[in-house]
Structure 1
Amino acid sequence: MSSDSSKFVYTVAIGVGVTLATGFSYWYYLQWKQRNTIPEKWRRIGTLEQINLYPIKSCAPLKLNPNTEITCDVLGLQINGCRDRALMVINDSNEMITARAYPRMVLIDTKLVGPQRLAFTAPGMDTIELDLSTLKKAEGEQVKMKVWDTSVNAGFVGGKYDKWMSKYLLQKESGMRLVYYPSENPVKAIRSRMLREPYILGADRGTFTDATSYMIINLASIAHLNTRTPRPVDPLQFRGSFHLKMDSDEPYAEDHWQWVKIGDQAIFRVVAPCTRCIFTNINVLTATRDPDSQPLSTLNKYRMFKDYASPSFGIHLGLRIAGKIKKDAVIYVEDK
């Protein structure tokens, strides 16, 4: 083959490659746009029965007035400087501590007792208060630790809070430390098992949350589950941000949704089913594990999805439009 012929073939090959690459990029863009374009039409499916903001990861939700308006922003639920899962307990090895290993954590209650003032209470413990505004101003020591397989920096809240947590969880003067999320943005990486989900974005990572900033539980699904388990399950055992009361009482309708709107402002993309672990077996009123590993053992029998290693219950949401919500707000899904 002559040199001119070789150049012609080479030029054609480059042109074909560029055309294919451009075509693939455009196809990918169209797919991305289709997945992320907010619907124009919505249909009502129920109302917001309960909002759960967990100031301390693995502990009880914040006690809220039913008329309280809550902000949904990129890091999660927020009210008066108190943010969902922006506080967390770690041990002296800088390892995340949860109720999976220390069930008594679910009995640690929190309540806002003033502007940016959070009170902690627990059985047998004196109440302790934290001025949340001081955390934003703190420039003290930070530590790099992990939420499962994702690294994130955390700031130390203070010695008296470490002592309080240690005394309650270990009956010792030390061993546990309370840390806070120091960033104003989601900075930790997407958890490895969520990377295959096509709809998740980097902004969905949240604070010290396991996977995403938001998760919704359909109370009709809880009611159906309770027909199959030997003892009733409290919805709080699933740690959802939102409890949905459906107009139709249809269980597992959430498996088929792509978009959710709460009230007039906040819009969410459904990014993944929420897979479940042994945390669901902990009674939130008694902090005891179910003797028969319920409800997880029941969920294993009928809520296993293809390519997922554990059963699914509820759905993860990624915020696409921020807004304010409150109890009894109407909940919508996309109207196809």
Structure 2
Amino acid sequence: MKLLGAMTWFSITLGAVVGGITFWLACRKRLGKRREQPSPDEWQSLGTLRVINFYPIKGGASIQLQQVECSEFGLHVNGLWERCLLAYDECGAIVFAGSYPRMLSIQPVIVGEKVLRLEAPNMPPLTVDLNELLRQPYAVVEKRKNGNFKRLVECRAEHSEWLSRAVLQRVQGLRLYVKLRPRQGEALVKPFLGVISSIGLFYYLPQLL
């Protein structure tokens, strides 16, 4: 009798475990399908973009564009990607407009493939050529803070001096870097691949479970 009772409880427990695993796998599969990238035929018109603001230098002014490319690593155009340039101060903190308002006076201009010209009031223009800065071999600086990981290549001394003069009005204090794009497999979000233009903006309404 005891053996029969034990077998009964074992069967019930095993059935509950198998049922739970089956339910979990079914839910996971269904959620996975829901996150799949929708086809353009399923997009719906949301509105029209008047202009696209592109920020090649973190904290600096934007460049207004009519069309940009979009990948899992963000927006990019002419071989440049958003916030491909960023600066650190003497305390090792990233420079942004909230702490350094003069950063907003830094106006980038795209002058070629991977080439920027930086302009600022009362300063001669500065050309930053990523083709030269990222020509192999180059030294990579790795910085980690609050769970964020960045791989950087330091710009030339004259680049950092120019930025320090424009923002701090002194010869040194800021260091300018090129932020490398993530390696293959480092993207954290599912990509929207394609081209965004001022012609239209589309969105997708997923089917509810």
Q: TM over 0.5: same fold?
A: yes
Q: Which residue does 2:189 correspond to in 1?
A: 203
Alpha-carbon distance in 2 for matches of 1:63, 1:71: 14
Q: Which residue does 1:154 correspond to in 2?
A: 152
Confirm or deny: 8 A CA contact 2:142 2:149 kept in the other structure: no
SS for the counterpart of 1:52 is strand
Q: Tell me how far 1:102 sits from its aligned partner.
A: 0.7
SS for the counterpart of 2:201 is strand
Q: Tell me how far 1:155 sits from its aligned partner.
A: 2.2
Q: Which residue does 2:31 correspond to in 1?
A: 31
Q: Which residue does 1:177 correspond to in 2?
A: 175
**Alignment deviations for residues 74-108 of structure 1 (CA, whole Å, 9 cap, x no partner):** 21111121111111111133211110111111110
Q: Which residue does 1:44 correspond to in 2?
A: 45
Identical counterparts, % of pairs? 25
Q: Which residue does 2:196 correspond to in 1?
A: 325
Amino acid corresponding to residue 332 of structure 1 in structure 2: F
Q: Tell me how far 1:23 sits from its aligned partner.
A: 0.7
SS for the counterpart of 1:202 is coil
Unmatched 5+ stretches in structure 2: none
Q: Which residue does 2:22 correspond to in 1?
A: 22
Confirm or deny: 8 A CA contact 2:73 2:181 kept in the other structure: no
Distance 1:161 1:334, change over 3 A: same
Relative CO higher for 1 or 2, CA cutoff 8 Å, sep ≥ 6? 2
Q: Tell me how far 1:4 sits from its aligned partner.
A: 7.0
Distance 1:168 1:37, change over 3 A: closer
Alignment of 1:193-272 (within 5 A): 202-203=188-189
Confirm or deny: 8 A CA contact 1:94 1:143 kept in the other structure: no
Distance 1:27 1:63, change over 3 A: closer
Distance 1:113 1:11, change over 3 A: same
Q: Which residue does 2:54 correspond to in 1?
A: 53
Amino acid corresponding to residue 140 of structure 1 in structure 2: A
Give the root-mean-square deviation of aligned CA atoms: 2.8
Aligned length: 204
Distance 1:181 1:10, change over 3 A: farther
Distance 1:144 1:30, change over 3 A: same
Alpha-carbon distance in 2 for matches of 1:14, 1:93: 59
**Alignment deviations for residues 223-265 of structure 1 (CA, whole Å, 9 cap, x no partner):** xxxxxxxxxxxxxxxxxxxxxxxxxxxxxxxxxxxxxxxxxxx
Q: Tell me how far 1:3 sits from its aligned partner.
A: 6.0
Confirm or deny: 8 A CA contact 2:80 2:113 kept in the other structure: no
Confirm or deny: 8 A CA contact 1:45 1:333 kept in the other structure: yes
Structure 1's consecutive aligned runs of 4 or more residues displaced over 6 angstroms after TM superposition are none
Confirm or deny: 8 A CA contact 1:96 1:145 kept in the other structure: no
Amino acid corresponding to residue 18 of structure 1 in structure 2: V
Distance 1:93 1:326, change over 3 A: same
Alpha-carbon distance in 1 for matches of 2:173, 2:37: 48
Alpha-carbon distance in 2 for matches of 1:28, 1:37: 16
Scaled by the length of structure 1, the TM-score of the pair is 0.53
Unmatched 5+ stretches in structure 1: 189-200, 205-318
Alpha-carbon distance in 2 for matches of 1:14, 1:53: 57
Alpha-carbon distance in 1 for matches of 2:55, 2:171: 25
Q: Tell me how far 1:141 sits from its aligned partner.
A: 4.1
